[in-house]
Structure 1
């Protein structure tokens, strides 16, 4: 166990060294006269190192958690063994006390039997003396001392019979004394054996208590080690988030990017979300032609959801769901300093039914946007805007990832379009997205060369 403690102490010293080294390794943004592209490449290299560190720290945390669980299980098992031994020791002590009482009772019985034997011996002595006296009488004494000769013989026979009975009783009492003596020895032996068992149990309990204390000491050290790794992991994740946010700032993309600009941004989103760049571009193309068509309607009445068509002013109902989306939309536009009644959103599609109100290149309805808003802020490091190309790219990547798009792109595309269920008539969307993704994949490979 001392070796375990030494290993943990060495591990903690190593961790403290890593913390100090990590503080030196993390760059200060903006040092040196780097171009934005050079800074971006340097940050991407540093991000790769940080992500490798994060992976290692996650493995260390997992390992120490398993060690902690093993120690906790062992401590719990020792606790159970100690409780069991306590019960066995208590039971043994009760049995020892009971045997002690039995031994005392047996000793009393032996003493009583000894007294009975003494009394019967005295009675036998009296009888024997009388018999001896009768035997020593002369014929003259017998004839003169008894009224009849038959009385003498009757008395003599009675004494003989009494003598025989007393001898039998004495023998029986002696047998009882022998049995009681044997019982006393047997009980004493049993008590001695039980005392030995209890002594062994007490020794085992002491060992278990000592082992439990040692395990608890190691557990505290392991918990401290885990906490250190957790702190390292949190620090590394924070630094990685800061670097990602800075890289995101350095990617300059206009409102309606070229394909090359969009591909560059999509590839960066892929490094964060694991959503394939070509698949992300395909979804955004299907939704808004990558930011070129973000909606043709304005909300005018948040209480009813009614609005107007942007290019002709015609009144349209169901521009936005009044209870589900309008309150969120008003809050989002207020925070961004946008005019809620002059910001374009998608129009309702008469042939499909339902409401419009989708925002920006990713075409998020407000109630969906708020679900991923905090996740997006964690990546970008600041306020987010659904009408921003960069924010909408990252938001779409995060949402597709949450919908399972890393492993099943077609299903994620359908969920993006229709929610958790859809009819076969809506499957055109997923099929169209996958066809676009295949084409974009070829294009990305070509421009990457």
Structure 2
């Protein structure tokens, strides 16, 4: 019994040590894994930027592949279209040939009928001619005594004989004419038969050409469908790559740590501008130039509050004095109330721009969107960020401005396209009286472009 207890203690002790070893090993594995999994935001940002650069390179290649595939598709579509026209032309030629063949058949039948009738006429003429010849022969065989006894006068005999001779002559001429007609008809029939045979051979050849063309068309249509399928696959891959790139840009932006409630530094603003420009396809320097012109890149988002929803009047934040034309009551007040309510903001204590010497104020946030325009763009912003669009947030305002500018020509990344986009952003038109704004934006953008190059060179990398 004592031995059993001793053995039991030994087994328990061994088990206890074994469990300690297992727990220690598990803890080591867990600690090692946790240490491996942890990565600093800056390192994650660098990894994501590298992945984004690779994705953007692939996106460019996919777009090239799609362009080539679309060209191949267009070529095949043109070939199919040409082939269909050729087949249609052959169909018309075959129909025309068949109609001519039918007409020739009718003509041949008519000619054969005419030949048959002419043959009957020839036989009838031969019979009549034979009868006249027999009568002449009989008259020639009559003697003078018989003629004198039968005919009242001798002159009757000679008149009758002359009549028979004339009849014989006419019958001979008629017979010759009929024979000539028959010969002509037979020659015409031979010609018609030859034409019909030739046309039937041509029609058979056209039918074979049509069959070959149809076969070629089917092959081209199969290639066209395969090309369309290839294009669809490229499009799917491209969309997946763009979706992943958008996700990475959003994550990079989150890692940038730009505050939503205060004006960003230029480096932070550049980070956001690069992100927004990557989503929309416009130049970061141009976007920053517009925002510099509008709000000094978030430093001046307005110095007025709306107070009267009927008249659109408000107050100056600095002086507290009543200010008229803070917001257009017919165009912007209701959208503004809707926006602030949905975002949980106080409609009457939210900063908006004061009016200039003309027009209305009421522009919101760093991008200075008027409420009615923001309503038109907020769903596009939310579609990228995944949250409700807020015109007072740096990220949302930058992206909305980039979308707007891109819609009006900034994606061309040309001076004329950007000037037009800036002008419309400011006044809704390209009126020469506001050209100072577009000119100023392009000058600022040129300076920012140099600043960005300096930053890039100092950091040793190109922001995505």
TM-score of the superposition, structure 2-length normalised? 0.80
The answer as to whether partners of 1:296 and 1:346 remain within 8 angstroms in 2 is: yes
Matching of residues 202-351 of structure 1 within 5 Å: 202-254=207-259, 255-273=262-280, 275-349=282-356
**CA-atom RMSD, angstroms?**
2.7
Residue aligning to 1:54: 59
Say which is worse superposed, 169-178 or 430-439, in terms of deviation. 430-439
Deviations 1:351-407 (A, max 9, x none): x12211111122222223234334433443433322122333333344444444532
Alpha-carbon distance change, 439 to 58 in structure 1, aligned in 2, over 3 angstroms = closer
Hey, what's the Cα distance between the residues in 2 that align with 1:439 and 1:150?
A: 139
What is the CA–CA distance in structure 1 between the aligned matches of 2:171 and 2:449, rounded to whole Å? 120
Change (3 A) 1:393 1:169: closer
Please show how residues 30-429 of structure 1 align to structure 2 within 5 Å.
32-254=37-259, 255-273=262-280, 275-349=282-356, 352-405=357-410, 406-408=413-415, 412-422=421-431, 424=433, 429=437
Counting matched residue pairs gives: 416
Give the superposition deviation at 1:129: 2.1
Please give the secondary structure, in 2, of the residue aligned with 1:121: helix
Q: Deviations over 1:92-111 (max 9, x none)?
A: 22322222222222222222
Which secondary structure state, in structure 2, belongs to the residue aligned with residue 301 of structure 1?
coil
Does the Cα contact within 8 Å between 1:244 and 1:380 map onto a contact in 2? no
Return closer, same or farther for 1:218/1:369 CA change in 2, 3 Å cut-off: same
User: Shift of the alpha carbon at 1:329?
Assistant: 1.6
Q: Contact 2:312 / 2:328 at 8 angstroms: preserved in 1?
A: yes
Q: Deviations over 1:63-92 (max 9, x none)?
A: 222322332333233333333333332232
Q: Which protein, 1 or 2, shows the higher relative CO under an 8 Å CA cutoff with sep ≥ 6?
A: 1
Q: How far apart are 1:441 and its partner, in Å?
A: 4.9
TM-score, normalisation: structure 1: 0.83
**Superposition deviation, residue 213 in structure 1:** 2.0
Cα distance between partner residues in 2 of 1:365 and 1:157: 125
Q: Which residue number in structure 2 is paired with residue 20 of structure 1?
A: none
Distance 1:436 1:73 in 2: 48
CA displacement at 1:273 relative to structure 2: 4.9
Give the secondary structure class of the aligned counterpart of 2:269: helix
- Structure 2: runs of 5+ lacking an equivalent: 1-35, 459-464
Paired with 2:163 and 2:444, the residues of 1 have a C-alpha distance of: 132
1:8-23 alignment runs, 5 A limit: none
Q: CA deviation at 1:438?
A: 5.3
Distance 1:376 1:41 in 2: 25
